[in-house]
Amino acid sequence: MKRAVYPGSFDPVTYGHLDIIRRASEIFDVLIVSVLDNKAKTPLFSVEERVKILKEATKDIPNVEVDSFSGLLINYAAKKNLHIAVRGLRAITDFEYELQIAQTNRKLSEGKLDTMFLTTSLEYAYLSSSSVKEIASFGGDISQCVPDFVAEMLYEKYRIVH
Ligand code: ADP
């Protein structure tokens, strides 16, 4: 049984993430999408909210599980007996950052945690959770970026009436 973890902030999940989730779910028997509870960042959505959003957005993909973790990914992966982390790559700027994290994780885990990259589908290459939040905060159209129920939740956070 091939299992992998897709870790991230997912604040909130976008169609870019969902595209990676769908494609990774076709490669692995089980894909665990895990929300990182990063105390150093101030997210818009709480971990509980992000988990709930991800569960709703992936409910039609039976082999996807949603979870959360804090601390080092290698410790979480070891506890769950997971050896592959999936990450998405949009541009060369993602690559430099992701390469460093992947190599650090491999080194720290003594080779037990490897990273697999999926390149973004071109139609989502421009998408990021932060740009979606910025557009939503000004009441802009985010229907091409996130599922409708996520857009509603975003406007609600920014108290935008649509
Ligand atoms: P981070 O974990 O770096 O705070 P995110 O939660 O936004 O960031 O992203 C988690 C993973 O999804 C990262 O590997 C990121 O590169 C990838 N990702 C984010 N947006 C997209 C997108 N539009 N297309 C493909 N991959 C993406």
Cβ within 8 Å of residue 101, ≥6 positions away: 87, 115
Residue 89 Cα to ligand 1 midpoint, Å, equals 7
Protein residue whose Cα sits closest to atom 18 of ligand 1? 88
Protein residue whose Cα sits closest to atom 26 of ligand 1? 88
Distance CA(50)–CA(12), nearest Å, equals 6
pLDDT tens for 87-138 read 999 988 889 999 999 999 999 999 999 999 999 999 999 999 999 999 999 9
| Cis? peptide before 12, omega within 30° of 0 | yes
Query: Would you say 69 and 36 are in contact if contact means Cβ atoms under 8 Å apart?
Result: yes
| Residue of 66, 118, 120, 123 to mutate, ligand 1, most atoms within 8 A of C-beta | 120
17 flagged as catalytic: yes
So where are the chain's domains?
3-122
Q: Which residues pair with 64 in a beta bridge?
A: 31
| Residue of 33, 70, 90, 123 to mutate, ligand 1, most atoms within 8 A of C-beta | 90
Protein residue whose Cα sits closest to atom 24 of ligand 1? 16
pLDDT tens for 57-97 read 999 999 999 999 999 999 999 999 999 999 999 988 889 99
Distance CA(144)–CA(151), nearest Å, equals 10
162 flagged as catalytic: no
pTM of the model: 0.94
Query: Would you say 147 and 125 are in contact if contact means Cβ atoms under 8 Å apart?
Result: no
Distance CA(160)–CA(33), nearest Å, equals 29
Q: Which of 3, 23, 83, 90 is catalytic?
A: 90
39 has pLDDT over 70? yes
CATH classification number, 3-122, choose in 3.40.50.620, 3.30.2270.10, 1.10.287.110, 3.40.50.720: 3.40.50.620
